[in-house]
Structure 1
Amino acid sequence: MNNHDKAKEKRERLRQEELKNNPTGSLNDALNRGNNGNLTDLTGGMGWKGIGILIVVLIVGYVLYKLFF
Structure 2
Amino acid sequence: MNNRQETSEEKRERLRQEELKINPTGNMNDAFNRANSGSLVDLVGSLGWKGTGILILVIIIGVIIASIFFK
TM-score between the two structures when normalised by the length of structure 2: 0.45
TM-score between the two structures when normalised by the length of structure 1: 0.46
Q: Considering only CA atoms, is the larger Rg found in Structure 1 or Structure 2?
A: 1
Greater relative contact order (Cα < 8 A, sep 6+) = 2
